Structure 1
Amino acid sequence: METVNHKPFKPKTILWVCHLERARDFYDATFVALGGKPGEMDARGRLIYVHEGGRLMITTPIDGKPATAANGGTIGLVATTADHVHAWNTAGVAHGGMAIESPPAERPNGAFVAYLCDPDGNKLTARTLPIK
């Protein structure tokens, strides 16, 4: 029997924004708060964030129309600790985001969770993995 080694699937999410530099300020701060690195601009003018096996791309719409946030859509980011969740929430609010729902808190399943909207209205959550 032959064994084939496959590279693991790396999730990727793309968000459209209206103002790339405003988004860079917000996402650089929140990714650093999670223990990641600031984004890098690729040759096509997209901001690329890589953290914990995932990839987030931030760009302006390719159709030339204004970006709009998904109604009911939420982008989830994994945090290592509750302290990272608090730091993410604080950094996001300080860089143009808006805290939404309840304050950062532990949920019944043991996950520590916070929610923000970015400056363009995209809904985000940072959370530790559930322990229960």
Structure 2
Amino acid sequence: MFTHVMIGSNDLERARAFYDATFVALGAEPGEMDARGRLIYSHEGGRLMITTPIDGKPATAANGGTIGIAAASRDHVLAWHHAGTEHGGSAIESPPSQRPNGAFVAYLRDPDGNKLTARTVPAK
């Protein structure tokens, strides 16, 4: 459905430290900076791009927005959450836990305040 998700950052190096750590914890490669100065993460057909806003105004997080990231296992979710809190992210909502529908989830805010979740669902 989507070709990519783009979010803004006020400090790309700080964002890179956070996202490199969290995506590597999920088994992905560290991000790459493209010729236009955007940080790009590609994994399993998905793409997350991080940039400073082109209008010159500060980047702000979406109120009510969450970016969901697929994880292969409960251990990957836990590693993602740990890596995020160790690299400038903030733990939010409940601690990593299993939901009534069987999904295991964790929530973080990145250093710019964007809300993220890593989620895995056991095979049926």
Relative to the length of structure 1, the TM-score reads 0.90
Match of 2:26 in 1: 34
Relative to the length of structure 2, the TM-score reads 0.95
**Consecutive unaligned residues in structure 2, runs of 5 or more:** none
Question: Offset of 1:10 from its aligned partner?
Answer: 5.5
Distance 2:121 2:5 in 1: 19
Q: Are 1:31 and 1:88, in contact at CA under 8 Å, matched by a contact in 2? A: yes
Q: Deviations over 1:64-102 (max 9, x none)?
A: 000000001000000000000000000000000000000
Question: Offset of 1:34 from its aligned partner?
Answer: 0.7
Larger radius of gyration between Structure 1 and Structure 2: 1
Distance 1:93 1:28 in 2: 13
Match of 1:83 in 2: 75
Q: Deviations over 1:9-48 (max 9, x none)?
A: 5541001010000000000000000111100010100011
| Number of positions where the alignment pairs a residue of Structure 1 with one of Structure 2 | 124
- Give the root-mean-square deviation of aligned CA atoms: 1.3
Identity of aligned pairs, percent?
75
User: After the TM superposition, which segments of 4 or more aligned residues of structure 1 sit over 4 Å from their partners?
Assistant: none
1:20 maps onto 2:19 in alignment:
no
Distance 1:128 1:116 in 2: 15
